[in-house]
C-alpha cells in the first residue's frame, strides 16, 4: 500500500490512466470488430467504410501509447488484405 503522499498520488494517477486506456482500447476493438463483421457479412462497401473509420482510431491508439506501432500496422494490413480479397 502507498504510504508517502507522492506514492498515493501516483497510485491515483495510475488508476485514472488505466481507466482512460481501457476505454480507448475498448473503442478501438469496437472499430476492428465492425470491420470484421462487415467482412463476415460479405458487404465490401461496408467493410471498406468500416476500415477507413478504424484506421485513424488504431493509429491514434499508437500515439496515445496503447498499442505498439508495428502491432497497429499489422492489424491494419491484415484487415485491408481481407477487405481487398472480397473483391476477387
Joined together, the cell numbers standing for residue 72 give 497497429
CB-based contacts of 5, cutoff 8 Å, min separation 6? none
**Can you give the pLDDT at residue 12?**
95
59 vs 87, which has greater pLDDT?
A: 59
Domains of the chain: 5-87 (1.20.58.110)
Please choose, from the candidates 75, 72, 76, 51, the residue with its C-alpha nearest in 3D space to the C-alpha of residue 60: 72
**pLDDT (tens digit per residue) in 26-67:** 999 999 999 999 999 999 999 999 999 999 999 999 999 999
Q: Which residue has the cell 473503442?
A: 27
Q: Which residue has the cell 481507466?
A: 19
In the chain, % of residues over pLDDT 90: 94
Q: Give the separation between CA 25 and CA 44, rounded to whole angstroms.
A: 25
Amino acid at each position: 500500500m502507498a504510504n508517502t503522499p507522492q506514492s498515493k498520488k501516483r497510485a491515483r494517477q495510475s488508476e485514472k490512466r488505466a481507466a482512460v486506456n481501457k476505454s480507448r482500447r475498448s473503442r478501438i476493438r469496437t472499430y476492428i470488430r465492425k470491420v470484421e463483421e462487415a467482412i463476415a457479412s460479405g458487404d465490401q462497401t461496408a467493410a471498406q467504410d468500416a476500415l477507413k473509420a478504424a484506421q485513424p482510431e488504431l493509429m491514434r491508439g499508437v500515439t496515445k501509447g496503447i498499442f505498439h506501432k508495428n502491432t497497429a500496422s499489422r492489424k491494419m494490413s491484415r484487415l485491408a488484405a481481407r477487405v481487398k480479397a472480397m473483391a476477387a
